[in-house]
Amino acid sequence: MESKLIAMLITILAYMLMMVIIGIRCSKKNANVGDFYLGGRKLGPIVTAMSAEASDMSSWLLMGLPGVAYLTGCAEAVWTAVGLAIGTYLNWLIVAKRLRVYTHKCANSITIPDFFSNRYRDSSHILMGVAAVIILVFFVPYTASGFAACGKLFSTLFGMPYHAAMMMSAVIIIFYTSFGGFLAASTTDLIQSMVMTLALVLIVVFGVVTAGGMGAVIDNASQLTGYLDIMQQHDPATNTSTPYSILTVASLLAWGLGYFGMPHVLLRFMAIENKEKVKISRRIATVWVVISMGVAVFIGIVGNALTSSGKLGSLADAETVIMDMALLMSEKGFIFIFFAGLIFAGILASTMSTSDSQLLAASSSASENLLKGVFKIKMTEKQSMLCARAVLIVIAALSVVLAWNPNSSVFDIVSFAWAGFGATFGPVMLCALFWKRSNKWGAMAGMLTGGVMVFVWKYVIAELGGVFAIYELLPAFVIALVVNVIVSLVTGKPEQAILDEFDAVNAEVKAG
C-alpha cells in the first residue's frame, strides 16, 4: 500500500477509534432503557441541533447530493435542497417544542410508536405495533444505504473488496451504538457534524483552486446545456436538457415534508433537556443545513469542471465524486494527504451519524414496542438492555444483507425510505400534535394509507409517466393526510381525558 494511503488510513482509523471510545464511556451512563433510547432527555441545545442534522443528512449529503449535481446539474439538487431547508426550519419551528412537551405528558413516551399509542389511549397497542413495523420496514434499507456508502468509501480509497469494507464499517457502527446507545449516538453525531463541515470546506476550496478558479468552474458549467438552469435537467450523454414543470418542482420540494415523520430526527426533539432551548437549536440547525447543502451542490459542479479539464478522471459512479477529489488532493504533498484523510473521515462520519440513529430507532421499535408493548413479554431492566442490544445487532445484520449489492444507489435508497417515513408518520404526527379531533382510527388509517401509497405510486402509478412521474412522497403524504382527517371525522370523538391532555399541552407550550 502506498505511504499516502497508509497515512489516510491512520487518520480514518484514529477517528473510528475515537467513536468506539465514546461509545464505551457513554455506556456507563445507561442505567435503563429510557437512557439507552432517549439519553434521559438530557441533551443540550447544541448537541440536539447538530445530532439531529448530522443523523438526518447522512452519506446523502457528501455522496448523493454532490453526485446528482455532478451528473445532471443544478435543477434536481437545488430544488431538493431548498425543500429540505424549508422542511428543517418548519420542523424545528412548529414540531420540536410541542413534541417535547407532549411526549413527556403522554406517560413519558420514549419512542414514536409509544407516543402514538399513549396519545390516542390505544390499549390494544395495535397502533403501536403498526408504527413499529413501519419503522423496521423503512429503516432497515435506510441503514443499508449507510453501510453501502462505507463500502464504496473504503473500496474507492484503498482498493479493498467492497464487501469486506462494508462489513468492517458496519461492525464499528454496531459496536459503539450497542454499547453507548442514544447518548453515544448523539455525542458522536456532534463530532461527526464538525468533521463533515471541515470536509466540505476543504474539498470545495481545493476543487475551485485546482479547477483554475471560480471563473473556470462557471465557464465549464455554462457550456453544458441546462446545467445551471434550475428549471432544466442536463443530460450528460447528449449534452441536452429536459424542462422542469411546476409539478416536478413541487415534487422535489416535497422532500421537506419528510421531516415531519422522520423518527431519528423527532427523537432528538423528544430528548432535549429543556423545551426553552429549542429556539437556539433551531437557529443552529437551520444555518448548518442551508450552508452544508449549498456547499455540497457546488462540490458536484466543481467536480464536473475538474473532469472536463482532465484533472479528474471520468467517474464510473457519480456518487464517488468527493472521494475522487480527495484522492486527487492527496497527490499534492504531505499536508494534503492529511487533509484528504479528514475528508474521507468526514464521509465516514456522515454515514455513521445516520446509521447509528437509525439502528437505535429500529431497535427500540422491535424490543420496546413489539416485544414488550404488543406481545407483552415481561423483562427486568437488565434483560431489557440485553434485548435492546441483541435486536440492534439483528437489525444491523439484515441491513448488511441488503447492502450486499455494490451497485446500489445511496440517493435512490434514501429517497424511497425518506418518502416512506414522511408519508406514514408525517400526517399522523401533525394531526396528533395540532388537531384536537383526531383519533386512533384516523391515525391508523392514515399511517397504513401512506405506507401503501408510497409503494403503489413508485412502482405502479409513476410508471405511467407524464404528470404521474413525480416523487412518491408528495401524493402519498397528501392522500394519507386526507384519509386521516376523513376517518377521524366519521368515527367517534376522542375521550375527554385525551381532549384535556391536548388542552394541557397547548397551555404549557404557550406559557413557555
- What are 198's three cell numbers? 471541515
Sign of the torsion angle spanned by Cα atoms 91, 96, 98, 99: positive
Question: What one-character-per-residue DSSP string does 129-150 give?
Answer: HHHHHHHHHHHHHHHHHHHHHH
pLDDT of 36? 65
Are 88 and 289 in contact, with CB atoms under 8 Å apart?
yes
- What HEC string does 313-328 produce? CCCCCHHHHHHHHHHH
Q: At a CB cut-off of 8 Å and minimum separation 6, what does 150 contact?
A: 59, 165, 166, 168, 169, 170, 348, 351, 352
DSSP character at residue 63: I
pLDDT by residue for the chain (512 residues), tens only, comes to 567 777 777 877 787 778 777 767 766 666 666 666 666 677 788 888 888 887 777 667 878 899 999 999 999 999 999 999 999 999 999 999 999 999 999 988 988 999 999 999 999 999 999 999 998 888 777 788 778 877 877 777 777 788 888 888 788 777 767 766 767 667 777 777 788 788 888 899 999 999 999 999 999 999 999 999 999 999 998 999 999 999 999 999 999 999 999 988 898 899 888 888 899 999 999 999 999 999 999 999 999 999 999 999 888 788 889 888 988 998 887 788 888 887 887 777 667 667 777 777 777 788 888 888 888 888 877 787 777 778 778 888 888 887 887 776 666 777 888 899 999 999 999 999 999 999 999 999 999 999 999 999 999 999 998 889 999 999 999 999 999 999 999 998 999 999 999 999 999 998 86
pLDDT of 371? 84
Are 145 and 165 in contact, with CB atoms under 8 Å apart?
no
pLDDT of 30? 64
Alpha-carbon distance 438 to 430, whole Å?
Answer: 10
Alpha-carbon distance 456 to 330, whole Å?
Answer: 46
Total Cβ atoms within 10 A of residue 405: 12
Are 189 and 357 in contact, with CB atoms under 8 Å apart?
yes
Strand positions, DSSP E, 378-430: none
| Helices 126-158 and 381-402: angle between axes, nearest 10 degrees | 50
**From residue 238, how far is each of 72, 313, 316 by CA, in Å?**
11, 19, 17
Q: What is the largest CA-CA distance in the chain?
A: 71
pLDDT of 94? 96
Alpha-carbon distance 356 to 204, whole Å?
Answer: 27
Alpha-carbon distance 378 to 321, whole Å?
Answer: 50
Total Cβ atoms within 10 A of residue 159: 10
pLDDT of 467? 86
pLDDT of 415? 83
Total Cβ atoms within 10 A of residue 455: 16
CA-wise closest residue to 323 among 10, 111, 12, 85: 12
Are 81 and 292 in contact, with CB atoms under 8 Å apart?
no
Alpha-carbon distance 473 to 458, whole Å?
Answer: 9
Alpha-carbon distance 476 to 471, whole Å?
Answer: 9
- What are 289's three cell numbers? 443545513
Q: At a CB cut-off of 8 Å and minimum separation 6, what does 4 contact?
A: 330, 331, 337, 340
Q: Find the radius of gyration of the CA atoms of the chain.
A: 22
Alpha-carbon distance 476 to 254, whole Å?
Answer: 11
Query: Nearest 5 degrees, angle CA 218-CA 223-CA 225?
Result: 115
pLDDT of 182? 67
Annotate 55-76 with b (16+ C-beta within 10 A) or e (fewer): bbbbbbbbbbbbbbbbbbbbbb
pLDDT of 28? 67
- What are 142's three cell numbers? 435506510
pLDDT of 484? 97
Alpha-carbon distance 389 to 367, whole Å?
Answer: 9
Q: Which domains, ranges and CATH numbers included, belong to the chain? A: 3-511 (1.20.1730.10)
In this structure, the dihedral spanned by the alpha carbons of residues 458, 464, 468 and 472, taken in order and rounded to 10 degrees, is: 0
Is pTM beyond 0.85? Reply is: yes
